[in-house]
């Protein structure tokens, strides 16, 4: 039996790099290590990670790009027309932001069983995907 796939939202990757919040940094690093080869992200996560590293974590553009290159070693679900249309439909159906819906759609496309994020208002299941805030 293969290990279940786990989708990591941007905040998990960003907290792993954020030395200003030692508790969340350690939690995020533990999550990344624990799920290792099972981790999946999306092109949206890569773009958001660059922005967070550059703006919120005050990294240089070169260091932010290096963080994105490191994250891109994970399994990456590309954004395409189908994923975006699905995200728009899911956002309307589940009353989510379109950005959260795009993350959920990417996780569902990658056949993940678990989505680690602190962005969804409540823990929930969406089309068999369990959404969990690992920082609560």
User: For residues 28 and 93, what is the distance between their CA atoms, to the nearest angstrom?
Assistant: 30
pLDDT at site 2: 47
pLDDT at site 82: 98
Choose which CATH entry (1.20.1440.130, 3.30.70.3270, 3.40.50.620, 3.40.50.1010) describes domain 5-132.
Answer: 3.40.50.1010
pTM over 0.85: yes
3-class SS letters over the chain: CCCCEEEECHHHHHHHHCCCCHHHHHHHHHHHHHHHHHEEEEHHHHHHHHHHHHHHCCCCHHHHHHHHHHHCCCEEECCCHHHHHHHHHHHHHHCCCHHHHHHHHHHHHCCEEEEECCCCCCCEEECCEEEECCCC
pLDDT at site 123: 62
Long-range contacts of 46-51 (CB under 8 A, 24+ apart): 46/71, 46/72, 46/76, 48/10, 49/10, 49/13, 49/14
pLDDT at site 36: 85
pLDDT in 10s for each residue of the chain, 136 residues: 346 999 999 999 999 999 999 999 999 999 999 998 999 999 999 999 999 999 999 999 999 999 999 999 999 999 999 999 999 999 999 989 999 999 999 999 999 999 999 987 666 889 889 999 999 8
């Amino acid at each position: 039996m293969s290990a279940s796939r786990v989708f990591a939202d941007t905040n998990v990757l960003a907290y792993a790099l954020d030395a200003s919040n030692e508790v969340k940094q350690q939690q995020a690093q533990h999550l990344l290590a624990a799920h290792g080869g099972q981790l999946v992200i999306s092109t949206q996560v890569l773009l958001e990670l660059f922005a967070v590293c550059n703006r919120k974590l005050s990294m240089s553009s070169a260091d932010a790009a290096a963080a994105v290159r490191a994250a891109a070693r994970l399994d990456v679900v590309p954004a395409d027309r189908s994923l975006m249309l699905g995200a728009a439909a899911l956002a309307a159906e589940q009353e989510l932001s379109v950005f959260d819906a795009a993350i959920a759609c990417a996780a569902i496309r990658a056949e993940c069983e678990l989505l680690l994020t602190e962005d969804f208002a409540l823990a929930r299941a969406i089309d068999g995907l369990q959404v969990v805030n690992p920082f609560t």
